Structure 1
């Protein structure tokens, strides 16, 4: 592996805690995304957005190298159990989806070597991003639950018996269905 790529890989390993095949999937997805974006920039704020269809190890490489995070609102999970990632660049609207192709039958170590040294063009299908770029993260007013007294974001509020309640205290009327 090239020295520059080794340095990036080690950054992912340090963030994730260990090197593994799942982390390598995310690492290679980021390298491919940088190629498709024609830039190896990170996301200072929300310039780059990733919608991950998995919550597995590969997402950590995306956080470490692209600086897409849940807290900033530019890492969004749409859990489908797939090693697939949709990337969006807000300034110019460029977007695409990378979906991991089936990997060859190999041992764990052989698979990691294939992921690390193989051609990422052969590892992923490039498709259109399925949705428009997600809206930017919003900051919501904080309200207090009338049942438990805890504070929470207004966007999660329910009205029950004329009182504001949080999701944990809310008792929906379902008639047993």
Structure 2
């Protein structure tokens, strides 16, 4: 018979179950009983530790039930506290340790939870194929790409960042798409996280169930695409050429969406808070002037401003409200034809009939609308 020994107790701001992503943002303390404190020797060598604790308020268990997103899963495929053996495991950041008290962040245990074990987090053993930072080159996995979490859910990492409201993590990920950091990208990221956390159903599966309607084709739009997963290629990004730094997030089947627009005084706020960036933007981007050194400085100041803006409350940057909106139809699946002149395939709905021939618009000399930096033209 296995016997669990209580070695300490959790001290937390939460006395009843709450949103786990909110709980993990708060600092907690673990007080280790005096007779076990010698076992903490050199634990401070580890930046992250794993805590095994008890769900002391759990009453019974459910073999199936809803997870955070509302999807139904079995208890062993979920992190529900209602388990046959009511034990929880969290990997937390060790902030400090003194006199047997550990200050940690990332623990989703309630106040008074019994602690049964503490051990250092070892990425080589504890993080599976993806490693501690959640990234891996699928081609480098010894067991094949199907063992990587992204194989089953390509957006698993971004969704974790969104759910935990890790704005900096989301911005870092968006930077890989956008190529640089700037306030516009940061606004798109922040606006998307704010909108998605208004509803647990605001998560995209890349199949047009979630739509993002953007009103400007600027850096802001890349932030929206990266975080929401709504892109031009998966037909979930709709572009309305209104020239407003705003977007609306909506789910098909729902009559209402969340519209987030940047406040009208944002320009003044940016100029006041980050004057060096504003000066460099005017010189390097707007006037297309400046030296190589100016461009380097622009990127540095843009990075500082981008991550700095994330520390401001959402209500200082945005107007957020529910709106009634009608989603566009699903993208049509149409027949492909072959242009008689260039020999390339063209969608039937985009072809031109010239006598007995079917031509693409380019070969027919027809007008071709396109999106440029100036909008749709």
Which of 60, 71, 78 is the equivalent residue of 2:233?
Answer: 71
Pair 1:19 & 2:181 matched: yes
Could you tell me how far 1:46 is from its partner in structure 2?
1.3
Distance 2:233 2:346 in 1: 16
Residue 46 (structure 1) aligns with = 208
Where do 5+ consecutive residues of structure 1 fail to align? 173-177
Residue 350 (structure 2) aligns with = 156
Pair 1:81 & 2:243 matched: yes
1:141-161, Cα deviation, whole Å (9 max, x unpaired): 101112222211111012222
Which of 140, 147, 150 is the equivalent residue of 2:334?
Answer: 140
Distance 1:43 1:84 in 2: 23
Conservation of the 8 A alpha-carbon contact between 1:42 and 1:65: no
Residue 116 (structure 1) aligns with = 310
- Tell me which of the two structures has the higher relative contact order, counting C-alpha pairs closer than 8 angstroms and 6 or more residues apart: 1
Q: Runs of 4+ in structure 1 displaced over 6 angstroms?
A: none
Secondary structure class of the residue paired with 1:8: helix
Where do 5+ consecutive residues of structure 2 fail to align? 1-24, 26-164, 278-300, 367-377
The number of equivalent residue pairs is 171
Do the aligned partners of residues 162 and 130 (structure 1) sit closer, same or farther apart at CA in structure 2, a change above 3 Å counting? farther
Pair 1:34 & 2:228 matched: no
Conservation of the 8 A alpha-carbon contact between 2:216 and 2:242: yes
Could you tell me how far 1:128 is from its partner in structure 2?
5.8
Residue 167 (structure 2) aligns with = 5
Conservation of the 8 A alpha-carbon contact between 1:51 and 1:87: yes
Conservation of the 8 A alpha-carbon contact between 1:49 and 1:88: yes
Conservation of the 8 A alpha-carbon contact between 1:88 and 1:96: yes
Could you tell me how far 1:49 is from its partner in structure 2?
0.6
Q: Please give the residue correspondences for 1:163-174 in structure 2 after superposition, counting only pairs within 5 Å.
A: 163-171=357-365
Could you tell me how far 1:42 is from its partner in structure 2?
3.3
Conservation of the 8 A alpha-carbon contact between 1:97 and 1:128: yes
Residue 101 (structure 1) aligns with = 263
Conservation of the 8 A alpha-carbon contact between 1:96 and 1:128: yes
By percentage of residues, which structure has more strand?
2
Do the aligned partners of residues 125 and 5 (structure 1) sit closer, same or farther apart at CA in structure 2, a change above 3 Å counting? closer
RMSD (Å), alpha carbons: 2.6
Q: Give TM-score, length-normalised by structure 1.
A: 0.81
1:119-152, Cα deviation, whole Å (9 max, x unpaired): 2223223356575111112221101112222211
Residue 175 (structure 1) aligns with = none
Instruction: Decide which structure has the larger Cα Rg and report it.
Output: 2
Deviates more, 1:86-95 or 1:150-159: 86-95
Distance 1:138 1:163 in 2: 24
Deviates more, 1:103-112 or 1:93-102: 103-112
